[in-house]
Chain A
Amino acid sequence: MAEVADLKDFICRKFSENVGLPPDELFGQDLSLAQVISRSEKMNNSVDLMEAFAKSSNALRKQYGVRVRLPALSLETPISRVVELFVQECQQGRVA
């Protein structure tokens, strides 16, 4: 299993790519999921967001061989909380 810092870095990079917002804006301001949808030109609604997280999860699976499943999240959830959940899931070590 990779170091937590590496995992976090990877997850943040993938989130940023998949939601189409620069890391400074996304994590610097710890945007809520509703804010991510409204600011991103790639996103119209929560299904787009769900797909962005699915792509990030698939990238994690490819890179580290772990499978991340996310519960339904409120749109008020801050992006930092989603990163935490991804890391926790990785640490639980569900092998893909």
Chain B
Amino acid sequence: MPSALRRTAPPAVALAETPLYEVPRLSGAGTEQSSQPRPSVVRELYQAFKEEGRTLMDITWEQHRFHESRRWSAMELLSAVRLDQLSELDRFVVWNAGRAEMTAKPSADRMSRLADRECRRFLGTDPVVASIIQSLGTWTRYWNEEEGHHEMGFSQLARMLGFPPLDDAAVIDQRKVFPDDDLLRTVTMLAFSEGIAAVNYGQYGRRARDPGFKALLKHVGADEVQHMQYFISFAKALVDSGAYAMKESFAVAHLFLRPGGELYGSVREHVESRSTHTNWWDHLESAVGEETVTPELLERKRSLILHALKRITGISCASAEQVEEQWMELVGC
């Protein structure tokens, strides 16, 4: 054995004894099924680290179990799609979703970079906050992998439908890693974006006729719901820790909910053209974009955002106006 390896070899343990390490149940985790708790998002992350003494390896195992229990195969789902059953609108949904999902990777890459930087900032002063943020950084590997299924699922389906693939220059351009911002703002924004994406996929799935295509949309939508739950959990933990100001979550909620805000996606009056990165959700083709802002869907998205904001901050708002009022109060002069 090389000396470097010998130095880091694990301690010897006797087999067939009591378990080396028993992982007790986490607060807010799923209900028990037989002897194994059902994997789920740990909702009270601050409490888990601060009061229950959980370690990063405990939390990472929960993340891993949940990730593994939810995996699905893009190859299998694509093979079940009957291409000739897809309508013209379905085809545009596929093409647009493929483009939109391309920018999930640079978003997740940014999250990894930002989480690592912020984790190290708190390392010497607040180890609980450092652990919360590291659990976020670690989880981005599962998020990125799951988004990879979405990207490849839709992009490959678009090719099967006869759309030309992106050329290398376009792929490289779409991979521009998103710029950094305040961590709580970023996590809150992602909670909202994942919720909005879930509503959009749900809507496309309800309208689609082909069972194979429906199944693909359903799997992607369910992943987005799970991502939203994770981001809510991380944002809540940051607020609970007191290390991040909840006004940042309100600022993002206001950004989405105000008249002409991000909630209105590609059909809002002002869509910024950015040189720093691409957010394809801002550029959905007209018919596909309009379908995501019907009054019913907007109401569903508004409710989701208000619910997420309440989970994150503990403050309940019933309307966009109340969010603005609360945010203004928190901002001060």
Contact with B along A68-80 (1 / 0, CB 8 A): 0101111100000
User: Is B269 in contact with chain A by the CB < 8 A criterion?
Assistant: yes
Whether A55 contacts B332 by the Cβ 8 Å rule is yes
Main SS of the interface on chain B? loop
Chain A: minimal CB distance from B152 (Å): 30
Contact with A along B209-251 (1 / 0, CB 8 A): 0000000000000000000000000000000000000000001
Whether B251 contacts A71 by the Cβ 8 Å rule is no
Contact with A along B309-333 (1 / 0, CB 8 A): 0000000000000001001100111
User: Is B17 in contact with chain A by the CB < 8 A criterion?
Assistant: no
User: Is A58 in contact with chain B by the CB < 8 A criterion?
Assistant: yes
Whether A58 contacts B328 by the Cβ 8 Å rule is yes
Whether B333 contacts A69 by the Cβ 8 Å rule is no
Report which of B181, B270, B272, B333 forms a contact with A58, defined as CB distance below 8 A. Answer: B333
Q: Which residues of B contact A50 (CB under 8 A)?
A: 251, 254-255
Interface residues on B, range: 20 to 34
Whether B272 contacts A71 by the Cβ 8 Å rule is no
Contact with B along A58-89 (1 / 0, CB 8 A): 11001000000101111100000000000000
A58 in contact with B332 given A71-B259, A73-B270 (CB within 8 Å): yes
Q: Which residues of A contact B38 (CB under 8 A)?
A: none
Q: Which residues of B contact A35 (CB under 8 A)?
A: none
Whether A72 contacts B185 by the Cβ 8 Å rule is no
Chain B: minimal CB distance from A16 (Å): 14
Report which of A47, A55, A59, A71 forms a contact with B181, defined as CB distance below 8 A. Answer: A47
Contact with A along B73-110 (1 / 0, CB 8 A): 00000000000000000000000000000000000000
Chain B: minimal CB distance from A95 (Å): 15
User: What's the count of A-B pairs with C-beta under 8 Å?
Assistant: 45
User: Is A45 in contact with chain B by the CB < 8 A criterion?
Assistant: yes
User: Is B206 in contact with chain A by the CB < 8 A criterion?
Assistant: no
Q: Which residues of A contact B255 (CB under 8 A)?
A: 46-47, 50
User: Is B261 in contact with chain A by the CB < 8 A criterion?
Assistant: yes
Whether A54 contacts B327 by the Cβ 8 Å rule is yes
Whether A51 contacts B331 by the Cβ 8 Å rule is yes
Q: Which residues of B contact A40 (CB under 8 A)?
A: none
Chain A: minimal CB distance from B143 (Å): 22
A21 CA to B262 CA, complexed, in Å: 27
Interfacial residues, chain B to chain A (CB-CB below 8 A)? 179-181, 185, 251-252, 254-255, 258-261, 268-270, 272, 324, 327-328, 331-333
25 contacts between A and B (CB under 8 A): A44-B179, A44-B180, A44-B181, A46-B255, A46-B272, A47-B181, A47-B185, A47-B251, A50-B254, A51-B251, A51-B331, A54-B328, A55-B331, A55-B332, A55-B333, A58-B331, A59-B333, A62-B333, A71-B259, A72-B259, A72-B260, A72-B268, A72-B270, A73-B270, A74-B270
Interfacial residues, chain A to chain B (CB-CB below 8 A)? 44-47, 50-51, 54-55, 57-59, 62, 69, 71-75
